[in-house]
Amino acid sequence: MQGKPQVTTDAPPAADRYSRQSRFWAIGAEGQARLAAGRVVIVGCGGLGSAVIAQLARAGVGHLVVIDRDGVELGNLHRQVLYDEADAAAGTSKAVAAAAAVGRINAGVEVVAVVAEVTADNIESLVADADVVIDGTDNLETRYVINDACLKAGIPWVYGGAVGSTGMVMTILPGETACLRCLLPTPPAKGTVETAATAGVLVSSVVMVAALQWTEAVKLLLGDREHVNRGLVAFDVWTNDHVQSAGVPRRPDCPGCGQWRT
C-alpha cells in the first residue's frame, strides 16, 4: 500500500527517546531526570562548543546557554558540526544558529542564545546559574576569564583545546583540583599560541575533545564525582597516542585558585 509517510510533531515519550542512554548503569531513570534538570553554559560555539551542544541536547540536558559573538563562516563548516552552508551564506550568529539547531534536535531542551563577547565584566552573570561550564573558546584569554569566574562561584568547568591532530581536556573542580592557572601559570604572549587558523585542525580531534568534555559534564550533572577525571587527558588522533596524567599539581602560589583554597 502506498501513501504519504505519516508525520507527527508530537515529541516521542522521554522514556523511549532516552532508553538506550538511561539503560547505561551510571544513568538510569533518576540520572535522566537529573540531566533534564541540568543547567550547562557553553562559552564559545565553534568546533568544540557546537559538538558539545549537539551532544548535550541529544542527551536531554534540559537547560543550555550558548554564547558566541561571531557569525558562521564557510571555513567553519569542516569541523563545526551544528552549522550548514545556509548559516555560512547568511553569516548567522553562531549562538543563534546553535540554539536553532538545538530546537531541531530536541524540542524539550530550553536553550538561550547569547550573542556577546565574554569578558571579565559579564562572565559572572553569564555563568551564575550554571551547574557546569564548558569551554568552547579558541583563545587562552577567555579561558582564564572562565577559570577565575568559575573558581569564585564554585562552579566546575571543563577545559578543552584542539589544534592539528592533538586534543587536551581537563576538568576543574574549584577547591578540589588544580585550575587552569596551575596548569598554565604564565599566559603566553598574544599571538604565540597556534590555533586552527594558523596550524589547522582535524574535525576528529575537535569532536573527540568535545566528547570527553560532554562525558565530564554529564558525570558532574549526575553527581558522580568519583569518576570525574582528576588528571589531564591529551591525545593525538594521527599518531595514535594517548596520555593520561596522574593529576595536575596545585600550585601553592597560584593566582587563580590560591585565594579560594579550603
Between CA 35 and CA 58 the distance in angstroms is: 11
**Taking CB under 8 A as the criterion, which residues in 21-80 touch other proteins?**
44, 46-49
Q: Of the candidates 31, 51, 29, which has an alpha carbon nearest to the alpha carbon of residue 42?
A: 51
CA 218 to chain centre: 11
Q: How many CB atoms lie within 10 A of CB 238?
A: 12
**In the stretch 219-258, what mask flags binding to other proteins with x, by CB under 8 A?**
-------------x-x-x--x-x-xxxxxxx---------
Of the candidates 193, 203, 211, 228, which one interacts with other proteins according to CB under 8 A?
193
CB of 231 to other proteins, least distance (A): 8
Of the candidates 140, 220, 222, 233, which one interacts with other proteins according to CB under 8 A?
140
Applying CB under 8 A, which part among 19-27, 144-152, 192-200, 254-262 lies near other proteins?
192-200
* H or E, element range at 59: helix 47-59
Residue (100 or 184) nearer to other proteins, CB: 184
Q: Of the candidates 169, 181, 201, 191, which has an alpha carbon nearest to the alpha carbon of residue 258?
A: 181
Of the candidates 4, 189, 252, 253, which one interacts with other proteins according to CB under 8 A?
189
Instruction: Put residue 172 in one of left, alpha, beta given phi > 0 → left and psi -120 to 50 → alpha.
Output: beta
Give the DSSP letter string of 121-178: TTHHHHHTT-SEEEE--SSHHHHHHHHHHHHHHT--EEEEEEEBTEEEEEEE-TTTS-
Applying CB under 8 A, which part among 5-13, 61-69, 108-116, 132-140 lies near other proteins?
132-140
Under the binding rule (CB under 8 A), the answer on residue 133 touching other proteins is: no
Residue (62 or 148) nearer to other proteins, CB: 148
Between CA 119 and CA 247 the distance in angstroms is: 29
Under the binding rule (CB under 8 A), the answer on residue 201 touching other proteins is: yes
Under the binding rule (CB under 8 A), the answer on residue 19 touching other proteins is: no
**Taking CB under 8 A as the criterion, which residues in 148-167 touch other proteins?**
160-167
Grid cell, residue 7, equals 508525520
Of the candidates 29, 199, 223, 255, which one interacts with other proteins according to CB under 8 A?
199
Question: Which residues 6+ apart lie within 8 Å of 132 measured at CB?
Answer: 38, 39, 40, 41, 155, 156, 157, 158, 217, 220, 221
Residues that bind other proteins (CB under 8 A): 44, 46-49, 135-140, 143, 160-168, 183-184, 186, 188-189, 192-196, 199, 201, 206, 209, 232, 234, 236, 239, 241, 243-249
